[in-house]
Amino acid sequence: MTHQYDFLVIGSGIAGLSYATKLARHFESNGEPVSIAVITKVQADETNTKYAQGGIAAVWSKEDSFDKHIDDTIDAGDGVNKRHIVEIVVREAPERIQELIDYGTRFDRHGNEYDLAREGGHSDHRILHFKDITGAEIERALLEEVQRHPSISIFTHFFAVDLITQHHLGETVYRYREDIRCFGAYVLNTRTGQVEKFLAKTTMLATGGIGNIYQSTTNPTIATGDGIAMAYRAKGICDNLEFIQFHPTSLYQPGKKPSFLISEAVRGFGGILKNADGSTFMENYDPRLSLAPRDITARAIDSEMKRNGTDHVYLDVRDADYDRFLEHFPNITQHCLDIGIDVRRDMIPVVPAQHYLCGGIRVNEWGQTNIHFLYAAGECSCTGLHGANRLASNSLLEAVVFGHRAYLGTIENLKDAYIPDNVPDWDDSGTTHPEEQVLVTEMTRELNSIMSNYVGIVRTNRRLRRAYERVELLYREHEQLYRESKVSVPISELRNMINVSYLVIKMAMSRRENVGLHYNLDNIKA
Ligand SMILES: Cc1cc2nc3c(=O)[nH]c(=O)nc-3n(C[C@H](O)[C@H](O)[C@H](O)COP(=O)(O)OP(=O)(O)OC[C@H]3O[C@@H](n4cnc5c(N)ncnc54)[C@H](O)[C@@H]3O)c2cc1C
């Protein structure tokens, strides 16, 4: 089956929906016909966006300034950030957030003023939030806004398998060829099992993060790096994949996926990190104590756990004003209660878990990748905003700013776009349904273990080399299986996770200095 749209958007989180909405508004307000397909691999709201708790950062109060937000972002990013991108994002933030409000997003208020929270690494109060479910509120408002635009069609349970480029027209496409073009994607309709062709003048990758390459992650199961892997296979260029953020405080619940996040804002609210015996330890690592940036805090916890032989530490909020705590963190309070932790009496057991990818598909300031008519925004992209480490609450912001900028870039370049009429249908002749699903399950488990043990918070050259060799072996085994099999979501996701893990390891191996989130013990000795 062939679908033809003006625009194909892969992903229904904040990045994809912001972009689709902007395009729809643009054409509808000009009275021009337009067709936009948004595809999403499960239900529309099952996104990383929905799980965001803390909020979205912007300079909103008179006491704050763009310069302070810019400095904080670059400070957190260890100077690896692209300064002009940081300036763009910080300065455009209030306008984009006002648009979210106009779409119907609610943020908490004190009277007429927004209640601005302060999180680790921020020098001022600038986090707009809705209780501790900010992401769910933004996702709700954006999905409602999308419903108001008849030009947008949402395809749920459609899984993008591969991007369509000249390669599918029989040409040789190599990575640094300058005229690679994207014409859409092959997409698996997961209800029928058929791969359908989605042709489009412009394609947007807004596929989110990669958390599930690790054993513990706060990301939902959709986060398997599909967009990055698809772009890389289509000869897209990726950057900074070694910079993986581990959230210092996910709730300690062994075997639970995704890990439940105890928001950064809890530390901003006065939560104190402690060992089991009630002793504090952050004073040994950073003068900002429990408000230190995430990478320092995660390494400190990792080090305390190794030193004490424990598998978690604690976050203590027992001295906090309970009523105010409950008002700010109803979801966290309830979640803890559900597993028998009463935050008035008990310390919360916490452990670091993979949380966010700072790198991704390289894009310019208009969200364009090196492949013509292929854009990327949100967590799967690398704009240069975060540098070597993301400042808390800057990721929803980046996604909404770049959803907008990619829309401007798309409109600007549209006149040269076309859809060829000779794109072949998906060819799966000679393949069968694999009889042994256990192979995929086991390979995924193996990959998770390799990445968590060797490519986690603290790395060494030997661990990285080991990871590289093992992932290469997995790659070869999986390619064989993939070639012989009818395409399915588990097989494709594993293929993508192997591709992305390979990139993470390669980039970690070639980074010779410790900067931001990349921490290799051998770089200290060298
Ligand atoms: C627990 C948690 C808390 C967080 N808290 C904050 C916070 O307070 N502030 C902040 O700024 N950031 C926060 N983040 C990070 C932030 O939520 C994400 O970076 C952001 O939401 C990513 O948005 P996105 O649009 O790029 O991707 P997502 O929201 O993850 O959307 C990805 C979309 O792509 C689709 N997709 C993926 N692969 C395919 C495929 N192959 N085919 C079809 N569709 C596909 C998915 O179905 C989904 O619709 C948090 C993240 C987590 C997990």
**Cut 0.85: pTM above it:** yes
C-alpha distances in angstroms, 137 versus 130, 134, 334?
7, 5, 18
Centroid of ligand 1 to alpha carbon of 217 (angstroms):
13
Low-confidence ranges of the chain (pLDDT < 50): none
Which one of 41, 43, 48 would you pick to mutate in the ligand 1 pocket, going by the greatest count of ligand atoms within 8 A of its CB?
A: 48
CA-closest residue to ligand 1 atom 31: 13
Q: What is the 3-state secondary structure (H, E, C) of 142-157?
A: HHHHHHCCCCEEEEEC
Nearest to 298 by CA among 231, 355, 337: 355
Three-state DSSP at 171 gives: coil
In the residue annotation, 294 being an active-site residue is answered as yes
In this structure, what token pair is assigned to residue 218?
Answer: 């706060």
Q: 409, 204 in Cβ contact below 8 A?
A: no
CA of 223 to the centre of ligand 1 (A): 7
Nearest ligand 1 atom, CA 261:
1
Give all domains of the chain, ordered by start, each with its CATH number: 2-53+132-242+358-416 (3.50.50.60), 252-352 (3.90.700.10), 437-486+488-525 (1.20.58.100)
- Please choose, from the candidates 230, 235, 102, the residue with its C-alpha nearest in 3D space to the C-alpha of residue 159: 230
Predicted local confidence at residue 526, as pLDDT: 59
Three-state DSSP class for 184? strand
The residue whose CB lies within 8 Å of the most ligand 1 atoms, and thus the one to mutate among 127, 131, 363, 395, is 395
Given the residues 267, 294, 299, 495, select the one marked as catalytic.
294
* Farthest CA pair distance, the chain: 69
Q: Is residue 8 within 8 Å of 187, Cβ to Cβ? A: no
Task: Give the pLDDT score at 177.
Answer: 87
Q: Are residues 291 and 391 in contact, defined by beta-carbon separation less than 8 angstroms?
A: no
Of ligand 1's listed atoms, the one at least distance from the Cα of 493 is 41
Ligand 1 centre to CA of 47 (Å) is 5
For ligand 1, the distance from its centroid to the CA atom of residue 388, given in whole angstroms, is 19
Query: 249 C-alpha vs ligand 1 centroid, how far in Å?
Result: 19
Average confidence score pLDDT of the chain: 95
Residues with CB under 6 A from ligand 1: 10-16, 39-42, 47-49, 51-56, 134-135, 159-160, 206-209, 218-219, 222, 226, 261, 356, 378-379, 393-396, 399
Atom nearest to 134 CA in ligand 1 = 8
